[in-house]
Chain A
Amino acid sequence: MADAPPEIEELIALMARLPGLGPRSARRAVLHLMKRRDRLLVPLAQSLAAVGAHIRECSACGNLGTGDICTICADPARATGQLCVVADVADLWAMERARVFAGRYHVLGGLLSALDAIGPDDLGIPRLAGRLGAEGVTEVILALPATLDGQTTMHYLADRLAGVRITTLAQGVPVGGELDWLDEGTIGAALRARRDLE
């Protein structure tokens, strides 16, 4: 049986490295692209080239943008004194989708992890500490996952970022959630964080 041309094999090998794709699914995706050359393959190639050429990491917060400084950091209206620390760019985008936060962000790029040997130096924490004074930050909101690594990172940051108000997101019942489906830890956290009805 004849092999696919080397260009196609190379594309399959590259796509197989994407999350959720293996060699077989990458092969199917490439064949799908080839069948829709004008409507999908060429625009995708152009889009990838544009992203590769223009998108870069914001030198201040780690968000993705087209300039050295992202649009959020460049906006003077967002210098509210509040800095929201998130683990990844996806978390920043989630916060922005919610449209509930008017301050600036800092993307750690991961979490401290004993298992994966990720330490403070891997997360650019000194850069975060440097922003506090430079940008007049009065409150750091730690919007990190309620996991072992997330909480460990939170406590580490709380130690390193002394001299500024440190807050974390509340934990409890999600919107649409039912008590019967919640674990006892979440129920306990929700009860401790109860508030008066207005």
Chain B
Amino acid sequence: MTAGAIPLRTRRFAGQASRMIEWHDEGIVLSARPHGETAAILDLFTRAHGRHAGVVRGGVGRRLRPVLQPGGDLAVRWQARLEDHLGSYTVEPLRTRTALLDHRLTLAGLSSATALLALALPERDPHPRLHAATGRLLDLPPDPLPWARAYLAWELQLLESLGFGLDLHACAVSGATEGLAYVSPRSGRAVARGAAGDWAPRLLPLPPVMLGQGDGPPDEIATALATTGWFITHRLLAAHGAGPPPARARFLAEIARLA
């Protein structure tokens, strides 16, 4: 080597560093899978970059493993040499949602919400309203009935954000805004009881809790979730060739316990 030459490793590092792509964001942990001996691949639902994966070095270690639990909120820095690379995350915990693990209903709900997001969200496609709704849901105290109502509202937001929103403001047949009792599985629009006629058995139930009316007892929430579940199964997840995650069935079973 000639005097004053820069070692190859340093030159390469300097060149790479100048081309690194980097952004900062906040995100909700959907999952973290072990990668090699010490790293984890983090699937994160970020506010500005949508669902975005990246490697976390030391992610399965004692310090970071508790931070990477599903539902946790993180401040992250993502870095990669090219935009389409997996890239790596540097993470800092903002808040954990471990209080939700204490109650079986909220635990099943947390599991269902994160599994649905992991299944249905396209990668690197921002959905800020859904991100905010998810954060609000997970920040609620683990009080089963209010939490179950909030979860229903969250599933409606999930459908709306991903292009399968239900239009429950007025009857698709008569335009009436009163007496809405069904949802059309074809259009996702509300149908009034009087306008349903012979079609009623083929329509999905629209309980008052879906319209924000009444106090939303557990059986109504279960009925409402059966309706949102139909759209999740036949519209949202059909394109992915997947059914609803088992965690959602567990959540429904917990709501049935409340009834």
Contact = CB atoms under 8 A, between A and B. Distances in A.
Interface of A: 19-20, 22, 114-115, 117, 119, 146-148, 151-152, 155-156, 183-186, 188-189
Contacts of A114: 111, 115, 245-247
Q: Which of B95, B98, B115 has the most CB of A within 10 A?
A: B98
Given A119-B246, A184-B96, A186-B66, 7 more contacts: A20-B36, A114-B115, A115-B115, A148-B110, A152-B107, A152-B111, A185-B96
Contacts of A186: 66, 98
- In this complex, the interface size class of chain B, counting residues with CB under 8 Å from chain A, is 20 to 34
B98 A188 contact: yes
Interface in B59-80: 66-67, 69-71
Interface in B80-109: 93, 95-99, 101-102, 104, 107-108
Contacts of B245: 114
A159 to B, nearest CB: 9
Q: Which of A19, A114, A115, A185 has the most CB of B within 10 A?
A: A114
Contact of A189 (B38, B98, B111): B98
Q: Which of A20, A115, A189 has the most CB of B within 10 A?
A: A115
A114 B67 CA distance: 20
Contacts of A22: 36
Interface string B30-72: 0101001110000000000000000000000000001101110
B70 A148 contact: yes
Nearest to B37: A20
A183 B67 contact: yes
Interface of B: 31, 33, 36-38, 66-67, 69-71, 93, 95-99, 101-102, 104, 107-108, 110-111, 114-115, 118, 245-247, 250
A185 B97 contact: yes
A145 B247 CA distance: 18
A153 B69 CA distance: 15
Given A115-B115, A186-B66, A146 B37 contact: no
B95 A184 contact: yes
Contact of A148 (B67, B99, B111, B246): B111
Nearest to B29: A148
B20 to A, nearest CB: 24
A115 B116 CA distance: 10
A117 B119 CA distance: 13
A183 B98 contact: yes
Contacts of A151: 101, 107
Contacts of A117: 246
List 6 tightest A-B contacts by C-beta distance, closest first.
A185-B98, A20-B37, A114-B247, A183-B96, A114-B115, A155-B104
B107 A148 contact: yes
A119 B250 CA distance: 12
A140 to B, nearest CB: 17
